[in-house]
Amino acid sequence: MTTTSFRSVFDAAFIRSEFDQSGINTQFIPSIWKYVIQNPNCEWRDIPSLPAAAYSLLSSKFKPCTSAVDSVSDSADEVTTKLLIKLQNGASVETVIMRYDSSLGKYGGNPRSGGPRSTLCISSQVGCKMGCKFCATGTMGFKSNLSTGEIVEQLVHASRISPIRNIVFMGMGEPLNNYTALVEAIRVMTSYPFQISPRKITVSTVGIIHAINKFHDDLPNLNLAVSLHAPVQDIRCQIMPAARAFPLGKLMDALAAYQKKSQQKIFIEYIMLDGVNDEEQHAHQLGKLLETFEVVVNLIPFNPIGTLSQFGTSEDDKVTKFQRILRNTHNIRTTVRKQMGQDISGACGQLVIDLSKKKSTSLTDIEDIRR
């Protein structure tokens, strides 16, 4: 939450409430959003055709954006761009753009219709309280939740760099621990003028059971991804301390209820840690755990995070064998996530804010593995 009296114009509930209280038609709000998106650094008086009361209200309580892009880092192959975004309260978060070209088949894969597309990896919190031992963000601890506006503004900033077609909430933080702001931000993103299809938005969670139980009712047609990372509870607890609060049996019951209600596949994220969870026995255990579900398992090679973690990356042949067991023995659709943005610390698990240092192959898009 921001600490000054000015709120982001994209804080949807707040601006609607203020417009209602002032007797201003809330139908003007989407056109205000569109103007702000298309006109960086605009002044309120620049927006045409608003009631006089709207100009006064906007000037007294809102900013077009409460955050600003502090730095932009491009990977050597120019496929990945990481934005360091400074918030109004002085804190920072990172968001990552990943580019794909489906029409040309560039960066691997078969040519598809649709032309170039970008996926945006969005942060939901400053830091994270989950403390996963393989994730750099967890070393920050939890600092604060982002407001609805601060979440949406990541899309605003990114869309000025590249057209965004898909969104994944896999950046800093545990999205379901900031549930109210998450739901409101996604409702903004799926409405005018953004109009991102719900089916092109994926929310990742370590398994917050009570939030999963209401996820489909609040956000129908979205994709749910679960950071499972181990097939048994004791390994989960070793590498994901927060898993103690979400026993694996109860989590799987919640996922079964979610899938029965939503009739949608669930994406399972599984980071491959050498000698920890990547043996053949683990593959068979995972297959048995998921055999009654309709899932896509995404195997994620561990990204080095320096001295922040002592884990090693699984060898390619172990990943291949793990994938083969899931596919051939247990008939579970399985992909391997190819790494993007390692050279700018923008890959999975590498997002971490160090303010003292902030100036410093084939790809599979989330959209492709839905098919």
* Residues identified as active-site: 94, 348
d(CA 340, CA 282): 26
Q: Name which of 158, 167, 211 is nearest 189 in CA terms.
A: 167
Q: Name which of 53, 7, 287 is nearest 149 in CA terms.
A: 7
Q: Name which of 204, 188, 2 is nearest 90 in CA terms.
A: 2
Residue with structure tokens 């601006």?
A: 15
Pairing mode, if any, of strands 125-127 and 62-63?
A: unpaired
Work out the number of other CB atoms within 10 angstroms of the CB of residue 285: 16
> Is residue 148 a contact partner of residue 181, using CB atoms and an 8 Å limit?
yes
Pairing mode, if any, of strands 164-169 and 266-272?
A: unpaired
Strand partners, 125: 145
Q: Name which of 85, 330, 248, 350 is nearest 256 in CA terms.
A: 248
d(CA 132, CA 197): 30
Dihedral over alpha carbons 131, 132, 133, 137 (to 10 degrees): -70
Chain Cα centroid distance, residue 81: 15
Structure tokens that stand for 271 in this block:
């980071």
CA angle 300, 301, 305 (to 5 degrees): 110
Q: Name which of 294, 357, 277 is nearest 70 in CA terms.
A: 357
